[in-house]
Amino acid sequence: MPTVDGVQQWIAALGPELRVQAGLLRGLLGALGDDNRWEWLELGCSVAAGRGDELSDLDLGLGYLGTGEPPLDEVGAILRGLGPVVDVYDSPWDDRYRWWVQYANGGQIDLVAMPAEARPGRAPGSVALLDRRGRLATEFRPRKLDVQPDEPRRWLLDGWEALSNVVKYVRRGALFEAIEQVSRARTRALQLWATGEAVAYPSFGLTSLLDDASATLPAGIETTYPIVDRTSILVAARSLAGVLANAGRHASADLDTPLRVYVTERFDELADRD
């Protein structure tokens, strides 16, 4: 279990730029106090990894005793008690319960509560701020840390489906819907590229690529952001078709689909009409 002094020293070492985040962490630990219902508190993402700045939110996991729903009102009251609140959003999330809080001083907390026994250990790169029973003493590999065997093909097919939808929406003149589909396809291309770059949490796509200093971005990705204009959308989508195909091969040399040729031909037909 991390010592109280050790945790407080770690928080103090965050420095003046993260004074808001440090204050929220101190307040949260104080609010959890000696109440054994709250077994562990884990901090992840940028602040835990030492990449945080004054704009960083606090990504937290809270483990509570029991197997049912967390004491919702109490968690909400604890978070509201940390300082003046602009608003709180809470809802079920991925079989857990999640709170997102915006504080008036600019601080943000993104907290997921779960039964304490649901976690077999600490996620890589995270920090155990509270661990009454030593459950976070060792690391484990969360499922999302690695690409799953079926994910690259699903991402590839979904990307080409989205680009096929771009053709449909452009022909209808539904440009806002077309742009949404371009964004969807770009997300899939970035997930595939992240897989090829072997970064952690490839399903997070762009975020994971930017968090890894050794990772590159796919060539031409900057050309895939259109404005609300038919020509701009078609140029971006056709460029994205090439990025998506390359990203698929980057993820796995033999990853391809007949959709690539079919959708590319539909874009060529649109270009000929124009």
Contacts by 209-218, CB closer than 8 A, 24 or more apart: 211/46, 211/49, 211/51, 217/193, 218/189, 218/190, 218/193, 218/243, 218/246, 218/247, 218/250
- What is the predicted pLDDT for the residue at 70? 84
Q: What percent of the chain has pLDDT over 90?
A: 89
The gap from C-alpha 257 to its chain's centroid, in whole angstroms, comes to 27
118: tokens are 């649901």
Residue 67 has a pLDDT of 81
pLDDT exceeds 70 at position 1: no
**25 phi and psi, to 5 degrees?**
-65, -45
Tokens of 223: 């050309």
Portion of the chain with pLDDT greater than 70, in percent = 100
The type of residue at 39 is E
Per residue in 220-256, pLDDT (tens digit) is: 999 999 999 999 999 999 999 999 999 999 999 999 9
- Cα–Cα distance, 212 to 197 (Å, whole number): 10
pLDDT attached to residue 21: 97
Fold entry, domain 4-140: Beta Polymerase; domain 2 (3.30.460)
CATH architecture of 145-273: Up-down Bundle (1.20)
User: What confidence tens digit (pLDDT) does each residue in 54-69 have?
Assistant: 999 999 999 999 888 8
Mean of all residue pLDDT scores within the chain: 95
Domain boundaries, the chain: 4-140, 145-273
